Amino acid sequence: MWAKIITRLFLVALVSLWIGSIVSAAPAPNPRKGKNYYKKNCRVCHDGKTEAIPSLQPADKIMDQWERAFTDEDDVAECIPRVKEKTGVELTDQDLL
């Protein structure tokens, strides 16, 4: 009886470690790509010259503001049509990750 319990616990632990290793194996974000993406697609609108469209320059925001900017999906969704109008580039779901 104890052997079955220990075997099951071992299997649960093994599966948990396996799933954890798969989840943590995602590639790390590349800051250089993000910087180039911002220059190409975001800076056109978010240059700080218009009050309705705030600046997204790193120096203009604190960390909490950046976290809110990238976790509020409604704000991002509102920008997508304007990005296409200004740049001719249609953002995909992959671009927004």
* % of the chain exceeding 70 in pLDDT: 77
Q: Which residues contact 48 (CB under 8 A, 6 or more apart)?
A: 54, 55, 57, 60
In a domain, residue 71? The reply is yes
CB atoms within 10 A of CB 45: 19
- Regarding pTM above 0.85, the answer is no
In this predicted structure, the answer to whether residue 9 has a pLDDT above a threshold of 80 is: yes
In a domain, residue 40? The reply is yes
Predicted local confidence at residue 34, as pLDDT: 81
| Element (DSSP H or E) covering residue 32 | helix 31-37
In a domain, residue 24? The reply is no
pLDDT digits (tens, 9 = 90+) for 10-56: 899 888 888 877 777 667 777 788 888 888 888 888 777 777 777 77
Residue type, 67: E
Are the C-beta atoms of residues 55 and 48 closer than 8 Å to each other?
yes
Where in the sequence is the domain holding 46, given as residue range(s)? 31-87
In a domain, residue 62? The reply is yes
Total domains in the chain come to 1
- Any idea what DSSP says for residue 50? B
In a domain, residue 41? The reply is yes
